Structure 1
Amino acid sequence: MILSRRPDIERFLAKPDGQVRAVLIYGRDAGVVRDRANLLASKVVERPDDPFDVALLTDGDLDSDGARLEGELAAQSLMGGRRLVRLRLTSEKVSLDKMAAEALAAHAEGRLNPDAMFVIEAGNLGRGSDLRKAAEKAAQAAAIPCYEDEPGDIARLVRETLAKDNVALSTEALTLFVARLPKERGVARQEIERLALYLGPGSGRTAGPQDLEDFLGVEPEASLADAASDAFGGRLAEAQASLRRAAQEGEAGPAAVRAMGFHLGRLRRTLTLAKAGAGLQEAAKASGVFWKNEREFLRQARSWTLDDLDLLQAEILNADRLCKQTGSPDQLIAERLALGIASRAKRKGL
C-alpha cells in the first residue's frame, strides 16, 4: 500500500499497523527519510541500537553477500522480542534494487520470520523501481514517499529542537530563520542545533531578528547569484565553487538553473532597453542590477548579444526540464550548464 498523505504517514509512524511487515521510506531528502525511519524503528523495538534485536545493512553488505538480507529477515530475535531489520540503500544499482524487492516481497508474504519488521531507506526511486513496485503492491507492506518539508514543518522542527535547549525565536525571527534554512532536513537540523549553541543552551533566551544578523550572515541565494554571474562572466572555476557552496547550503540544481535563467533575463532586458535607445548603465539599473554588481554586469552586457541569449535560453529551459525528471543528477546538470555558458563567455573574450 502507499501512504502519501501527511496525516496518514504521521498516524502510521506513531502507531504502526501490526499487519505490516515491511516499510519502504524513500525520497530525495535523505534527512526526512532518516528521521521517519528512526521514528518507526523506535516504535518497533525498545532499543533501536541493540544488535541483538536489530540488524542494520547497507548496499555494501548486499554487494558482498547476496544471501545475507534474507538470512537476517529469517532470523529470530536473540532476546525474545520483535526483530527489526533495517536496510539503507544509497546506490542506484538495478541489481540491488531487484534484490531488495525480492526480499521485501518474500517477507511481506510471511515466508521468512513473520514477526520481524523490515524497514528500507532509499533515495528518490522512480516508478520503474522494482523495490517501489513491490512495496506498493504487497498488502503487508507500506511505501512512504518523502517530499521536501513545507515551511510549517520546518518551523515546527525549529521550535521543538530549540525548546529542548530552553531557547526560542520570536515570530519574526522564526520566519526569517526558516526562510534561510537549507532545504535538506539533515543539514537544516545541524543549523538549528548550531543556533541553539549560539543562543546559549539553557539560557531561556528568546531571540529577535536583530539577534540573528551575525549568525545568518550572507543569504544562501547569494551563492547562486554569484554562480550565475561568474558563468556569464567566463569564470568557470568561480562558478563551480559558488554552485557547490550553494549546494552545501541546501540549494539544489533546479534553483541554480533558475538563477542562471534569471541572470540571462536581466541581460536580455538590459540589452533590449539599450537597443531602444537607453544608455547601458541606465538600462542595467532599470533591470534591477545592484550597484555593487554593476561594473561586472556592464562588462558582460557589452559582450553578449540578444541572439546569443536566445540560443542560451533554449539550453536553460532544457536543463530546467531535465532537473525535474525523477532521479535526475540535477547538481551535475547545473554544473554542465554553467560550464557551457562560461565556455561561450570565454570565446567572447570575457
Structure 2
Amino acid sequence: MILKGGQVSSFARKPDSQTWCVLVFGDDDGVVSDTADQIIAGWAKRAGDSKTVTLDDDDIRREPHLLADNIEIASLLGELNIVRIRTSGEKIAKSILGLVEEADQRGESFANRLIIQCSGLNKRSKLRSGIEAANSAAAIHVFADTAQSLQDMVKARLAEFDVEIDTDALQDFVSLLPGHRGLANQEADKLALYGRGLGRPVSLNDVRLLCQTDADNSVRDMVQYALDGNGVSCLAEYDRISEIGTSAISILRIFEMEARRLLEARGLLGTGGDIGRKLRPPVWQSEWPAFRSRMDKWSAASLTRLLAAIHDLELKAKTEGPAAEAAIRVFLLNVIKSAAQRSRMTASP
C-alpha cells in the first residue's frame, strides 16, 4: 500500500497491527530519517516495550538469515523487535520482498516490525513496487522541506524545550537553514539549547549571533572559493578552519548544502522571479552575480557527480575519523582544478 500526506502522521500516531513493514524513501536523507523515527516511535509506544536493531546491506548479505531471524522470532521477554535497515536500493530487495510476500499469503503480520530507509527510488524499483503492491506493508515517498514545513519543524523542536521565538526571528532562522533536513535539525537543536531558560522569546539578534559564526562563514567561504576555482583563497581558508578543529563532516555537509543549492537554482532557471530568494539559504541580490557565475561553471550532471563524491567522502570520514583529513584536501584540490578548467571553457569564444 501507499501512505501519503496526513495518512503518514496518522499511522505514526496510531499504527495499525497489520502493517508490519514500512519503506520510507526520498531524495532528502534527513526527511527520510525523521519520518522513519516517527514510525518507530509509534510502534514503540503501541508496544510499550521494544528495542531497535539497525542493519545495512552488508550485514544482510553477509548473514542472509539475519533479517528473517530478527523479524520472525518473538522475544522471550515479550518486547517488540523493530528492525531498521538503511539500504542503497535493490541489493537486498529479494530478501525483504520474500518476507512481504510470505506475510501477505498468511494474511497476518510477523511478530516484529521492519522499517526500511532508502534514497530516491524510481517507479521501476522492485523494492518500491513490491511494497506498494503489498497488503501488509506500506511505502512512503517523502520530499524536501518547504519553508512552511521547516517553520513547523523548528517550532515543534523549540516547544520540546519550552522555548518561544519571535515571528521575525523564526522567519529569518528558517531562511538561513540548509535545504537538507539532517543539517536543519542540527541547527534547530542548537537554537533550542540556546533558548532554554533564556526567560524571553528568542529574538532576531539572537538568531543572527547564533547562526552566523566565524567558523561557519569560513567554511562557506572555503567551499565557494573551491567551486570558483580559486585555489589560493580556498586552501588558506582550509588551513584556518583546520587550526580551529572544524570536523571533516561539518565541511562536507556545508559543501553538500552549497552544491544542492546550485543544483536547485539550475532547476529554477527560466521560471521567472527572484531565483535567489527561492533558495535555502537565500542568495541575496548582492551575492547573486558571484553565485550565478559559479552556477554557470557547474552543469547539473557535474553537480550530481560532485554530490555523489561528497557522500562517498562523508562515509570515509565517518569510518576513518582523522585519517580522512588528507582525503578532504585532495578532494578540495580536485574541485578547484575542475572549476578552473570550467572557467577556461566558459571564457572561450
Interval containing the TM-score (normalised by the shorter chain): 0.5 to 0.7
2:158 matched residue in structure 1: 162
How far residue 95 of structure 1 moved from its aligned partner, in angstroms, is: 2.8
- Supply the distance in 2 between the matched residues of 1:71 and 1:99 (Cα, whole angstroms): 12
Give the match for residue 66 of structure 1.
Answer: 64
* Structure 2 residues not aligned, in runs of 5+: 242-249, 269-284, 312-330
On the 8 A contact 1:170/1:208 being kept in 2, the answer is yes
Counterpart position of 1:213: 208
Give the drift of 1:235.
2.6
**Is contact 2:23–2:139 with CA below 8 Å preserved after alignment?**
yes
- Residues 232 and 213 of structure 1, relative CA distance in 2, 3 Å threshold: closer
Is 1:3 matched with 2:3? yes
Query: 1:162: how far off?
Result: 1.5
Q: Answer whether contact 2:128 2:139 (CA < 8 A) is retained.
A: yes
In the superposition, the TM-score normalised over structure 1's length comes to: 0.67
Equivalent pairs counted in the alignment come to: 296
Residue in 2 aligned with 1:35? Answer: 34
Match of 1:272 in 2: none
Q: 1:188 to 1:139 in 2, by over 3 A?
A: same
Shift of 1:339: 4.3
- Aligned pair 1:235/2:235, yes or no? no
Consecutive unaligned residues of structure 1, counting only runs of 5 or more, are 263-287, 302-308
State the percentage of identical aligned residues.
25
Shift of 1:3: 1.6
Please give the TM-score of this superposition, normalised by the length of structure 2: 0.68
Superposition pairs of residues 181-200 of structure 1, within 5 angstroms = 181-199=177-195
Range moving further from structure 2, 129-138 or 161-170: 161-170
CA distance in 2, matches of 1:229, 1:74: 53
**Does 1:146 pair with 2:128?**
no
Q: Which residue of 1 aligns with 2:322?
A: none
Report the counterpart of residue 244 of structure 2 in structure 1.
none
C-alpha distance in 1 between matches for 2:88 and 2:56? 9
Answer whether contact 2:228 2:340 (CA < 8 A) is retained.
Answer: yes
Residue 25 of structure 2 aligns to a residue whose secondary structure is strand
Q: Following TM superposition, by how much is the alpha carbon of 1:191 offset from its aligned partner in structure 2, in angstroms?
A: 1.3
1:158 Cα deviation from its structure 2 partner:
1.3
Equivalent residues of 1:85, 1:119 under 8 A apart:
yes
Distance 1:109 1:329 in 2: 44
Pairing partner for 2:199 from 181, 187, 204: 204
Q: Structure 1 pair 192/258, CA: closer, same or farther in 2 (3 Å)?
A: closer
Stretch of structure 1 that moved more, 140-149 or 251-260: 251-260
Q: Aligned-residue CA RMSD in angstroms? A: 4.3
Conservation of the 8 A alpha-carbon contact between 1:45 and 1:84: no
